[in-house]
Amino acid sequence: MTIDWQKEVDARKDDLLQDLIDLLKVKSEREDDKVTSDAPFGPGPRDALLHMLAYGERDGFVVKNVDNYAGHIEYGEGDETLGIFGHMDVVPAGDGWDTDPYNPVVKDNKIYARGSSDDKGPSIAAYYGMKIIKELGLPLSKKIRFVVGSDEESGWADMDYYFEHEEKPDFGFSPDAEFPIINGEKGNVSIAVHLPNGNEGEYTLESFVSGLRANMVPGTAQAVVTAPDADKVAELTTAFATYLEANPVNGTSSVDGLTVTFDLIGKGAHGASPQIGINAATFLAVFLNDYAFAGGAKNFIQVVAQYLHEDVYGEKLHTAYEDEKMGKLTMNAGLFEFAKDKDQAFINLNFRYPQGTTLEAIEAGLQETIGTLGATFSTEPHHMTPHYVPQDDPLVKTLLAVYEEHTGEKGFEQIIGGGTYGRLLKRGVAYGAMFPGYTDTMHQANEFMSLDDLFRAAVIYADAIYRLAK
């Protein structure tokens, strides 16, 4: 049977885009202060999950909601199950948008909104691939299950809960990365750094705050400093203006008596690729490191300025490692908090590490370096070890063949620092929806997805899902 997948997607373009627009309007950021028994990650992720599941009910699929943690949309019968994993939660919108991040805008053949490329757009494209197969009544030998998550950007507690109640699919993919395929993912672990507070110096660090999530490069940072006299205040503000001119950052300072508030703007990016961001917190700490702080405040600034600034590969921290297949370890310093009235300061370091090194080696490097400045460490429980599915696996071979036939481009394996739901399965990969050469705006202001790529991905997904399940 020959199926014109492009024709089938073209016939549904308007419906696909409208479904995506409606889904993007749901502000599905995790909000821990609004958690209830009915909304385990806050109302936004729950509402987006319900919205996606409602599409499945509308279109006549078998739908199951697992206590508002996650759910699935299912079609077909068979002894084996093909799993497709998408997520409805998004990282915080942050600052710097030209449009409302939750009022989708289509311009220049792109759709702008938080979640457009990560991961609502790709999820809708894959869902429509599954929907086309159902509407055409194509014969299948396997069950297709589209698993919908709501906590991928935080701790994956949605999948922990889901798989306590549901069986894992036998194999599958997540539409949450790049084509041709992602068949390897680095290990992923966040380590909290704790430092004693204290101010015994000529200058007082009242507060230092930066970052929205561990997996985002901080695009903004703020520090509040009290100087010993008016002359020192003037010196601080003048020096800050000079510093901004000499570095790839922007910012402002404001004065209230002897207290100066510094706001610095860098560039946000996905924490899996910290090298493409400009970490506002570390640039601010480098400026402050020239002044006479003491005690805990000095140690906090020194750790950030001397060990974390522009050290995305962990060389200063003695955690650097490179594997021939998986590449280099990366480190994102994503969260910072110092408050004069608290006992401890806090920094979150997110490591994406290749096979060949270990969590224990990373912890040893931290102890050897910033541990000497009084830092203590705690490893967050959501720790993922490196994941790899060989190129000769039938899943990988089939997905690459589909990509090649629809693009005319040679398929190849890829290994990333990002973590996707593909790694939930032993035979799980990430597959699209971004094409080679795309502009990566995930976790950044003005996130968008090309409409051409959205529809082209839906064509590939429809064919791939059918080949895997027929």
Catalytic residue among 8, 19, 29, 89: 89
Tokens of 442: 């995930």
Report d(CA 117, CA 112) in Å as an integer: 9
Q: At what angle do helices 120-136 and 43-58 cross, to 10 degrees?
A: 20
Closest CA to 260 of 225, 231, 291: 225
Q: Is 378 exposed, middle or buried (0-12, 13-18, 19+ CB in 10 A)?
A: exposed
Distance (Å) of CA 67 to CA 63, 87, 99, 165, 166: 13, 16, 34, 10, 12
Catalytic residue among 119, 152, 176, 206: 152
Report d(CA 326, CA 33) in Å as an integer: 38
Which stretches within 275-355 are classed as H helix? 280-288, 295-302
DSSP, collapsed to helix, strand or coil, labels residue 371 as: helix
Q: What is the DSSP secondary-structure string of 76-134?
A: ---SSEEEEEEE--B----S--SS-TTS-EEETTEEESTTTTTTHHHHHHHHHHHHHHH
Q: What is the DSSP secondary-structure string of 401-467?
A: HHHHHHH-S-----EESS--GGGGSTTEEE--EEPTT----TTSTT-EEEHHHHHHHHHHHHHHHHH
Report d(CA 333, CA 427) in Å as an integer: 31
Distance (Å) of CA 114 to CA 34, 420, 443: 20, 18, 8
DSSP, collapsed to helix, strand or coil, labels residue 34 as: helix
Q: Catalytic annotation on 31?
A: no
Q: What is the DSSP secondary-structure string of 304-320?
A: IIIIITT-TT-TTTT--
Q: Catalytic annotation on 392?
A: no
Tell whether omega for the bond before 119 is within 30 degrees of 0, i.e. cis. yes
Q: Which residues are catalytic?
A: 89, 152
